[in-house]
A and B are shown apart, each in its own frame.
Chain A
Amino acid sequence: MKENRQHRYWTAFILLLAGVLVFFILNICIGSVQMTIPDIVQALTGHERTETNIRIIWDIRLPRTIAVVMLGGSLALTGYLLQTFFHNPIAGPFVLGISSGAKMAVALVMIFLIGRTSRVTSADMIAAAFMGAMLSMGFVLVLSRRIGNMSMLVVSGVMIGYICSAVTELTITFADDADIINLHNWSRGSFSGMTWENVKIITCVVTVTVLHIFLMSKPLSAYQLGDAYAANAGVNLRLLRICIVIYSSMLSACIVAFAGPVSFVGVAVPHLVKKLLGSVEPLYMIPACFLGGSVFCLFCDLLSRTMLAPTELSISTVTAIFGAPVVLWVIGRKNTDKQH
């Protein structure tokens, strides 16, 4: 029994790691210029330099792919945290309007700053997104106290999302600066245009936050039992709740600031990973969710770039195609469980 479980954990982690590796390489090879692995090695090590290949890999594909790994993992992990926090299987940063809140704040700040200063730094973007995420999260928390019903909580999250999106759209419509074109692309969600500077900041923020979350896996596991039993186990519930809110907002902020809102990854991936692991133990779920999110997003980003090349689809279009059915499956399964 115990050995079985260990065995399953190992298999799951090996599968996930292999998935990340395979898709990482595919993402670098496939594109408007096709490359083989030897081409890449040559481009990176500098034998027989072909300037364009080096530029494509070093300036475009590599930073983008690393960003996808980091942000995809963060998305899934945020979803898992929120699902645990609200004891709600279909919670996620997008569903609860947290992504949209962050998006609104970023759009407002960008337009305000573009008018005055020429440059908007990554730090500004993250700070703005964090404020926006916390604002939406605050609304959701206030509502969750008043609404006992979990489905209604999700509905109100979706409403908050709509309000924020409407404000964002308005802002974009009325600001007819040339820079707004970027803003428009970004507001639909896309991993394109990542620079090494972006990647550096993303990696720092994500690594630190994810490590903190991993260190919370013990109290999280007690929290899963329910408030009364977590408190009885000696968990400081207040502190834990505050940490979950801050960390999940931080990760959402990072995602939105660099890739815009990406839908369904946060809701769908934790369920797929849970099935793979056969457990909800946070000690395993936290790293597995991160890897699962990375694989899922690498796969979706690859499709978004190649399906209708040279046109690039918005990432949310692709994640929705693969993520939404998973959500429907989860809802359907919940109901059949009740009937038994």
Chain B
Amino acid sequence: MEQYYFTTKKMCVGYDDRPLIKNVEITLSKGEILSLIGPNGAGKSTMLKSIAGQLQLLGGTVYLGENVLSEMKGKELAKKMSVVFTQKARAEMKTCRDVVATGRYPYTGWFGVLSDEDQKVVEEVMALTHIMDISGQDYNKISDGQKQRVMLARAICQEPEIIILDEPTSYLDIRYKLEFLSILKEMQVQKNLTVIMSLHELELAKIISDKILCLKGEYIEKYGTPEEVFETEFIRKLYDIDDEILLKDAKFLTYVRQISSSD
């Protein structure tokens, strides 16, 4: 039997005792990329927050390696898992480099002073994510796309084994979308990084993911490899793309077919 790195058993997520999605069973090997897709409001962010241990599970268990995630200590978990949420970090009077450096938090001493080694990691990560040129700029004065890359750098700086990303590509233009994903790919190859993220761009999810989880309604619609999931009829159903919309323009159907076919 294959040893999985990340597993959920009968996971049930939601807010205030109101379950949104029930019985989620995910199995991921180390170094796999999982994308969550599904319509707005399907609960992608809720699920990611629950997986990151920031929202109490309403049922079931999440395993990270052999540990039960909810039983892990804050620092211990911080060295294994890092997050990039849609909500931006507050950073008054901080340069981009300062924000990236906050990722070293679990590794620094009592007063949080960075050692030379920490500084080296910060620099390496900034080079990897191509943000050296904005290193000294005020974080609050850079563009949303740049902020997104700084936040990714912060998360990588934490040297995690698994990284959770909520719609990481939303503010990026096509070039940076691809660059962002290529960084993830690179980390996957180099460091065997496991990734769980939500994506709106189906065509990107298709090319980068090892596994796809489709969310809609109370239970998981589908979970499998991109080849298993992508199929025009299914995607149409998942996002409620009805004939009325498609008939407005002949090109719409071509577009939907293009992004949802499995080849």
- Render B78-98 as a binary contact track against A, CB cut-off 8 A, 1 for contact: 110111010111111110000
Q: Does B115 contact A (CB under 8 A)?
A: no
A228 touches B87 (CB 8 A): yes
Interface stretch (choices B105-113, B170-178, B186-194, B207-215): B105-113
**Bound CA span A251–B76, Å:** 33
With known contacts A217-B111, A222-B102, A222-B105, A232–B93 Cβ distance under 8 A: no
- Enumerate chain A residues within 8 angstroms of B81, measured Cβ to Cβ: 232
B54 touches A231 (CB 8 A): yes
With known contacts A222-B105, A226-B87, A226-B89, A236–B111 Cβ distance under 8 A: no
Q: Which 8 pairs show the lowest CB-CB distances between chains A and B?
A: A234-B78, A234-B74, A218-B112, A233-B105, A234-B75, A225-B89, A232-B83, A280-B92
- Render B97-133 as a binary contact track against A, CB cut-off 8 A, 1 for contact: 0010011011010111100000000000000000000
Residue of A nearest to B110 (CB): A218
Q: Does B184 contact A (CB under 8 A)?
A: no
Query: How many residues of chain A have a CB within 8 Å of chain B?
Result: 23
A234 touches B90 (CB 8 A): no
A217 touches B112 (CB 8 A): yes
Query: How many residues of chain B have a CB within 8 Å of chain A?
Result: 36
**Bound CA span A224–B93, Å:** 11
Which of A215, A221, A224, A225: most chain B Cβ within 10 A? A225
**Bound CA span A217–B73, Å:** 20
A228 touches B92 (CB 8 A): no
- Render B40-76 as a binary contact track against A, CB cut-off 8 A, 1 for contact: 0000000001001110000000000000000001111
B90 touches A232 (CB 8 A): no
B residues adjacent to A (C-beta < 8 A) = 49, 52-54, 73-79, 81-83, 85, 87-94, 99, 102-103, 105-106, 108, 110-113, 136, 154, 158
A232 touches B111 (CB 8 A): no
Q: Which of A217, A228, A280, A283 contacts B83 (CB 8 A)?
A: A228
**Bound CA span A328–B82, Å:** 39
Residue of B nearest to A227 (CB): B54
B22 to chain A, nearest CB (A): 24
What are 28 pairs between A and B in contact, CB < 8 Å? A87-B90, A217-B111, A218-B110, A224-B91, A224-B92, A225-B91, A226-B90, A228-B49, A228-B83, A228-B87, A229-B85, A229-B102, A231-B53, A231-B54, A232-B78, A232-B81, A232-B82, A233-B78, A233-B102, A233-B105, A233-B106, A233-B158, A234-B74, A234-B76, A235-B74, A280-B93, A283-B112, A283-B113
With known contacts A221-B112, A232-B52, A234-B77, A278–B93 Cβ distance under 8 A: yes
- Enumerate chain A residues within 8 angstroms of B94, measured Cβ to Cβ: 280
Residue of B nearest to A278 (CB): B93
B142 to chain A, nearest CB (A): 13
Within 8 A of B (CB), among A1-48: 1
- Enumerate chain B residues within 8 angstroms of A185, measured Cβ to Cβ: none
Which of A221, A234, A236: most chain B Cβ within 10 A? A234
A236 touches B105 (CB 8 A): no
- Enumerate chain B residues within 8 angstroms of A221, measured Cβ to Cβ: 102, 112
- Render A277-294 as a binary contact track against B, CB cut-off 8 A, 1 for contact: 011100100000000000
A residues adjacent to B (C-beta < 8 A) = 1, 87, 215, 217-218, 221-222, 224-226, 228-229, 231-236, 274, 278-280, 283
**Bound CA span A231–B74, Å:** 7
Q: Which of A87, A234, A278, A279 contacts B105 (CB 8 A)?
A: A234
A228 touches B93 (CB 8 A): no
A232 touches B87 (CB 8 A): no
Residue of A nearest to B87 (CB): A228
A85 to chain B, nearest CB (A): 13
- Enumerate chain B residues within 8 angstroms of A231, measured Cβ to Cβ: 53-54, 74
Q: Which of B73, B82, B106, B136 contacts A1 (CB 8 A)?
A: B136
- Enumerate chain B residues within 8 angstroms of A218, measured Cβ to Cβ: 105, 108, 110-112
- Enumerate chain B residues within 8 angstroms of A234, measured Cβ to Cβ: 73-79, 105-106
A287 to chain B, nearest CB (A): 12
Residue of B nearest to A274 (CB): B93
**Bound CA span A266–B75, Å:** 33
- Enumerate chain A residues within 8 angstroms of B83, measured Cβ to Cβ: 228-229, 232
A224 touches B90 (CB 8 A): yes
- Enumerate chain B residues within 8 angstroms of A1, measured Cβ to Cβ: 136
- Enumerate chain B residues within 8 angstroms of A233, measured Cβ to Cβ: 74, 78, 102-103, 105-106, 158
**Bound CA span A70–B105, Å:** 32
Residue of B nearest to A221 (CB): B112
With known contacts A225-B102, A229-B102, A280-B93, A215–B87 Cβ distance under 8 A: no
With A233-B158, A280-B94 already in contact, 20 other A-B pairs whose C-beta atoms are closer than 8 Å: A1-B136, A87-B90, A217-B111, A217-B112, A222-B102, A224-B90, A224-B92, A225-B90, A228-B49, A228-B83, A228-B85, A229-B85, A232-B81, A232-B158, A233-B74, A233-B103, A233-B106, A234-B77, A234-B79, A235-B74
**Bound CA span A217–B108, Å:** 13
**Bound CA span A228–B94, Å:** 18
- Enumerate chain A residues within 8 angstroms of B99, measured Cβ to Cβ: 225
B111 touches A283 (CB 8 A): yes
- Enumerate chain B residues within 8 angstroms of A236, measured Cβ to Cβ: 74
A244 to chain B, nearest CB (A): 16
**Bound CA span A87–B88, Å:** 14
